[in-house]
Amino acid sequence: MAATVETVDQVRALADDKYKYGFVTDIEADTAPKGLDESTVRFISAKKEEPEWLLEWRLKAYRQWLTMPEPEWAKVDFPPIDYQDAYYFSAPKTTEAPKSLDEVDPELLRTYEKLGIPLREQEMLAGVAVDAVFDSVSVATTFRHKLAEKGVIFCSISEAIKDYPDLVKKYLGSVVPYGDNKHACLNSAVFTDGSFVYIPKGVRCPMELSTYFRINAANTGQFERTLIIADEGSYVSYLEGCTAPMRDENQLHAAVVELIVLDDAEIKYSTVQNWYPGDENGVGGIYNFVTKRGACRGKNSKISWTQVETGSAVTWKYPSCILQGDNSVGEFYSIAITNNMQQADTGTKMIHLGKNTTSRIIAKGISAGKSQSTYRGLVRMGAKAKGARNYTQCDSLLIGDKCGAHTVPYIESRNSSAQIEHEATTSKISEDQLFYCRQRGIGEEDAVALVVNGFCREVLQQLPMEFAVEAQKLVGISLEGSVG
């Protein structure tokens, strides 16, 4: 038996080595060896020609990461992650990119078709090696020109570190400290890419900013770092993700997003997450461990998170708001759909510190198959948050009888003038509803999609128009095969 294991290991080692010898040296030069230690962190920082302070920051994060336990309080279950069995910088592709759409998984193409994605974009999403990318370069260029006129900065975080070091140094890690949690800590040590946005005083960003238009986002990477600053009186709407399932070979995704909003400013942040959820047995899906937090630092500032989470095998994600400024507003609108063996533990934290701060939480969880979906949320009213108010509504919808929905609200109030409301419902998609739709001619899967879209309506309405239409279709597609 030992011999068999040894053989398997040898074969695996050979397979792993394939790129070392099979490719020419320039690839090797851009690749950090497998595994994670201090030299990996130094390698990444050096490759990116970062300033000394950032390297130090990364190293502090790395050292703290070593000492931190895995967060185990979430209602998700997966085998321990082998951090040494991963690449942290330019992981070499173990499979070759498909040369045309003919080589792409037909199931994936069918989904693209249903979502109505143009052919050129399909090629990009499926990772087909074509020059479609050049199209988006020109789009991005026009885009940037228009933004520059208004003084808006929208670039990769790597560029920002070089070009706007003062802004980055001031705000990076100011909302999510490097030691916040194990996953955020890892991200701080090894992040390789992400977005940076700065909206100057009094500017209303002339368009919705989407990672899709940022050329580097074609390969978003596992450890994405996003930093958005809305200066006094400014406004920006930021879209992240894509409704189409993206090809990605990295299993672990640990992103960090930090938002900073000053007086009278607002950030609207919308996400559609559809990473590969694994097969029916949950094999091969992405682990999505995200730390997203925004600070409403100024008076009358506002942050609105909207998320549609349909992908990933395991989702661990709590976009939060720290309401420091008086009269500041935090919102969280969420749809989490789980099917087959997917697990999602998601929710928000609303930390009320300033006077008359208000927050609103609308969370819709849909579970099908054998999946488990948990809403976990914290509402904390600080001692000085006089007159603060929160309204929370959590609705869960179950499809079938093998899935689970859980609601875990934490409420802490330290002052008597605060008002907190919490409503929660759990329902099953009813036989009556399905039969009613079907008797009117609507097929079973379309009927499920219709009922679920109705259930999610309040949240879908929060999405920018173009995203909302795609998200609606996605809701239906995510639940295919969940009935009958």
Partner 1 sequence: MLEIKNLHADVEGKAILRGIDLTIQPGEVHAIMGPNGSGKSTLAHVISGRDGYDVTEGEVLYRGKNILDMDPEERAGEGVFLAFQYPVEIPGVTNTTFMKEALNSVRKYRGEDELDAMQFMKVIREKTKQLGISNDMLKRAVNVGFSGGEKKRNDILQMAILEPSLAILDETDSGLDIDALKTVADGVNLLRSPENATLVITHYQRLLDYIVPDFVHVLAKGKIVKSGDKSLAQELEKKGYAEFTDQAA
| Min separation Cβ 73 and partner 1, Å | 32
Which listed residue (272, 455, 463, 467) binds partner 1 by CB under 8 A? 455
Residue 430 and residue 460 in contact, taking contact as beta carbons nearer than 8 Å: no
**Does an H or E element contain 137, and which?**
helix 132-150
Residue 120 and residue 142 in contact, taking contact as beta carbons nearer than 8 Å: no
- Nearest residue (CB) to partner 1, 129 versus 424: 424
| Min separation Cβ 467 and partner 1, Å | 18
The number of angstroms, rounded, from the C-alpha of 123 to the middle of its chain's C-alpha atoms is 22
| Min separation Cβ 434 and partner 1, Å | 9
- Nearest residue (CB) to partner 1, 149 versus 431: 431
| Min separation Cβ 443 and partner 1, Å | 5
Phi and psi angles of residue 372, each rounded to the nearest 5 degrees, phi first:
-130, 130
Residue 175 and residue 260 in contact, taking contact as beta carbons nearer than 8 Å: yes
| Min separation Cβ 273 and partner 1, Å | 22
- Nearest residue (CB) to partner 1, 142 versus 425: 425
Which listed residue (103, 279, 458, 466) binds partner 1 by CB under 8 A? 458
Per DSSP, the three-state class of 222 is coil
| Min separation Cβ 339 and partner 1, Å | 20
Which listed residue (216, 250, 393, 453) binds partner 1 by CB under 8 A? 453
Phi and psi angles of residue 88, each rounded to the nearest 5 degrees, phi first:
-115, -5
Residue 289 and residue 312 in contact, taking contact as beta carbons nearer than 8 Å: no
- Nearest residue (CB) to partner 1, 20 versus 438: 438
Q: How many CA atoms lie within 13 A of 464 on its CB side?
A: 18
The rounded distance, in Å, linking the Cα atoms of 195 and 193 is: 7
Task: Please give the size of the binding site for partner 1, defined by CB under 8 A.
Answer: 23
Q: If you ran DSSP here, which 8-state letter would residue 199 be given? A: E
Sketch the per residue contact string, 375 through 414, with partner 1: x for CB under 8 A, - otherwise. Answer: ----------------------------------------
Q: ∠ CA(132), CA(95), CA(9), 5° rounding? A: 160
Per DSSP, the three-state class of 249 is coil
| Min separation Cβ 362 and partner 1, Å | 12
- Nearest residue (CB) to partner 1, 85 versus 458: 458
Write out the binding residues for partner 1, residues 431-450 only, by CB under 8 A: 431-433, 435-444, 446, 450
| Min separation Cβ 359 and partner 1, Å | 23
Write out the binding residues for partner 1, residues 206-265 only, by CB under 8 A: none
Say whether residue 423 binds partner 1 (CB under 8 A): no
| Min separation Cβ 445 and partner 1, Å | 10
Q: Which stretch binds partner 1 (CB under 8 A): 226-234, 244-252, 325-333, 451-459?
A: 451-459
**Does an H or E element contain 427, and which?**
strand 419-428
Considering only CA atoms, which of 279, 280, 278, 267 is closest in space to residue 314?
A: 278
Per DSSP, the three-state class of 447 is helix
DSSP assignments along 26-91, one per residue: HHHHT-PPSS-SHHHHHHHHHHTT--HHHHHHHHHHHHHHHHPPPP--SS---PPP-GGGS-SSSP
- Nearest residue (CB) to partner 1, 225 versus 364: 364
Beta pairing partners, 348:
377
Tokens of 164: 């706007």
- Nearest residue (CB) to partner 1, 402 versus 457: 457
- Nearest residue (CB) to partner 1, 103 versus 423: 423
Write out the binding residues for partner 1, residues 173-212 only, by CB under 8 A: none
- Nearest residue (CB) to partner 1, 384 versus 438: 438
The rounded distance, in Å, linking the Cα atoms of 360 and 420 is: 10
Residue 437 and residue 454 in contact, taking contact as beta carbons nearer than 8 Å: no
Which listed residue (451, 463, 471, 477) binds partner 1 by CB under 8 A? 451
| Min separation Cβ 451 and partner 1, Å | 6
Residue 325 and residue 298 in contact, taking contact as beta carbons nearer than 8 Å: yes
- Nearest residue (CB) to partner 1, 416 versus 439: 439
Beta pairing partners, 239:
210, 270
| Min separation Cβ 460 and partner 1, Å | 9
Q: Which stretch binds partner 1 (CB under 8 A): 30-38, 130-138, 328-336, 456-464?
A: 456-464
Can you give the binding site for partner 1, defined by CB under 8 A? 430-433, 435-444, 446, 450-451, 453-458
